[in-house]
Amino acid sequence: MSNLKSHPAKGGTNLKFISIFYLLTIIFLFLYSYTQVDLNLTLSQWSIWQVIQKWFQNIGWFQRPFSTVLYTFILFLLVIHYFLFLWLVKKNKLSIGQFWRIIIPASIILLFAYNAFSYDLFNYMFDARIFTFHHQNPYLHKALDYPQDPWINFMRWTHRTYPYGPVWLGLTIPLSFIGMQFFLPTLFLFKALMVGSFLGTVYFIGKILEKISPENKMLGMAFFAFNPLIVMESLVSSHNDIVMMFFLMLSLYLLMRKKYIHSIILLLLSIGIKFATGFMFPFYLLIYFLQKRKKEINWEVLFGVMAILMIIPVILASYRTNFQPWYLLNILPFTSVVAKRYYFFIPSVVLSLISIFQYLPFLYLGNWDKPVPSILFWMTTGSILFSIILVVIWFFRLAIYKRRIK
C-alpha cells in the first residue's frame, strides 16, 4: 500500500453516495440481526412488538435458505463498501471529520442491534447478574445453579463458571446494577460499553499513527473501523475482546508518550479482562528500556511483531475449542497500524473477510454438527493458504517492478 496523506480533500459526490448506501447497509444489518432472536426470548411484552418479533424470527429460524441469502447479500455490501472506503482514502477523498460522521451514526444504529451471531453477551450479563441479583460469586457458581431464573432459557454455555478476569467483572457489575435486572436496559448498557470501546479503539489507532506515521492515519482508522468482521463482532455480536483491545491501545499510546504509570495500569486492566494481552508485557519492558536509554525506536517494526505475537493466544484459544472469527479482534488493531505494508494488509483482509462467512453454514442448517466443523476448518485453512499465495505474488510483483525501474 502506498503512503497516504493525513488531511484529505473533500470527497464530493462519490463520498456522499457511498456514505448513504453504507448507512443503509448498516440499517439492513440492524434489521437482519432481529431475525436471529432466540425463540425462547421475548424482548418486549408489547403485543405489536411480539407480532414484529415473530415475523423476523420466522425468517431467521424457519426460512433458512432465504435468511442465508439475505445475510450473504448484506456481507457483500459490507465488503464492497469496505474496499470503496479504502479506495477513497487512497484517493485522498476522506477526511477525519467525514470519517467520524459515518462511523458514529453506524455505531449508534448497531448499538441497538441484536447480538445475532453469538450468545456470549448473554453470558456476560448473567455472570454479573449472579453477583447483583443472586448475590453469589460467579467464579464459584454457574447459570445452571439457578434453574428458576428465566434468563437461562435463552442462554448457551450455562454449565461453565466465570472464565474471565476480575476487571471484566468490575466493569459489568455496575452495568447490571444500573440495568436494575431489566433485560433490555441491561442488554443495551452492555452493548454501549462495546460500542464505546470500538470507537475508542479506532480513535487511539489514529492517535498512535499520528505519532509514528501521520500520513497513514486515515488508512489505519478506515482499515479497522470499516472492516466487516470488526463491525460484526464488536458492534453486533459485542464480544468483550474489543474492550480488552481498547485498554491496550490506549495503554500503548500513553507508553509512547512516556506516561509509564498510567500505561501500566491500563495494560493490567486489559490483561484483567481476558488475559490474552499478557503477551504484550515483554514489549513494555523493551520499550521502557529503549526510551530510558534514549534509543531510537522503530515503532512500525514493533507493532508488526506485536501483531505476529498476538497470533499465539488466537492459536491457544482455537486449540482449546475451535477457531472463532472474533479471535481476530486480538490482532487487527495492530495490523491496522502497519496496514500500509502489503504483508500485513493482505492476510488481515483475506482472513477477516472469509471469517465472517463462517456463519453461513449455521444460518442455512441451523446447527454446528457435521459437516459444519469440516467446512469451517477448510475455510480457515484455505484463507491462510490463499493469503500466503497472494503475499508471495505481491512480493514478486514488487521485485519485478523495482528491477524494471533500475
What pLDDT, in 10s, does the model give residues 361-391?
999 999 888 899 999 999 999 999 999 999 9
Number of Cβ within a 10 Å radius of residue 375: 14
Domain assignment of residue 126, yes or no: no
Per-residue pLDDT at 321? 78
Does 64 have pLDDT greater than 90? yes
Backbone angles phi, psi at 37, to 5 degrees: -60, 130
Per-residue pLDDT at 213? 93
Residue 406's pLDDT band (cuts 50, 70, 90): low
Cα angle for residues 18, 23, 27 (degrees, 5° grid): 145
pLDDT in tens, 180-192: 999 999 999 999 9
DSSP 3-state helix, strand, coil percentages of the chain (rounded to 5)? 75, 0, 25
Return the percentage of the chain with pLDDT > 70, whole number.
97
Backbone angles phi, psi at 163, to 5 degrees: -100, 0
Instruction: Quote the pTM value.
Output: 0.93
CA distance to 15, 155, 343, per residue, from 237 (Å): 28, 14, 29
Domain assignment of residue 162, yes or no: no
Per-residue pLDDT at 401? 77
Query: Residue 376 is inside which H or E element, if any?
Result: helix 372-405
Residue 13's pLDDT band (cuts 50, 70, 90): confident
User: Which residues touch 381 (CB under 8 Å, ≥6 apart)?
Assistant: none
Per-residue pLDDT at 318? 87
Does 208 have pLDDT greater than 80? yes
Give the mean pLDDT of 228-255. 97
| Amino acid at position 345, single letter | F
Per-residue pLDDT at 227? 98
Total residue count of the chain as it appears in this document = 406
Per-residue pLDDT at 326? 94
Domain assignment of residue 375, yes or no: yes
Domain assignment of residue 163, yes or no: no
Per-residue pLDDT at 9? 47
Domain assignment of residue 166, yes or no: no
Does 5 have pLDDT greater than 70? no
* Residue 267 near residue 284 (C-beta atoms within 8 A): yes
* Residue 31 near residue 110 (C-beta atoms within 8 A): no
- 7 vs 66, which has greater pLDDT? 66
Per-residue pLDDT at 243? 98
- 27 vs 47, which has greater pLDDT? 27
Residue 151's pLDDT band (cuts 50, 70, 90): very high
Does 1 have pLDDT greater than 80? no
DSSP letters for 108-136:
HHHHTS--TT-SHHHHHHHHHHHHHTS-S
Per-residue pLDDT at 305? 95
What's the number of domains the chain is made of?
A: 1
Does 11 have pLDDT greater than 70? no
Does 347 have pLDDT greater than 80? yes
Number of helices (H), then strands (E), in the chain:
18, 0
Give the mean pLDDT of 324-331. 95
Domain assignment of residue 270, yes or no: yes
* Residue 197 near residue 290 (C-beta atoms within 8 A): no
Backbone angles phi, psi at 38, to 5 degrees: -55, 140
Per-residue pLDDT at 10? 52
Give the mean pLDDT of 138-154. 94
Give the mean pLDDT of 92-113. 96
Residue 210's pLDDT band (cuts 50, 70, 90): very high
Torsion of CA 188, 122, 241, 64, to 10 degrees: -100
Give the mean pLDDT of 157-186. 95
Per-residue pLDDT at 47? 85
> What residue numbers bound the domain in which 83 lies?
12-114+182-405
Domain assignment of residue 130, yes or no: no
Give the mean pLDDT of 286-299. 92
Q: Could you identify the residue written with the cell 493458504?
A: 385
Domain assignment of residue 300, yes or no: yes
Q: What is the mean pLDDT of the chain?
A: 93
Give the mean pLDDT of 109-134. 96
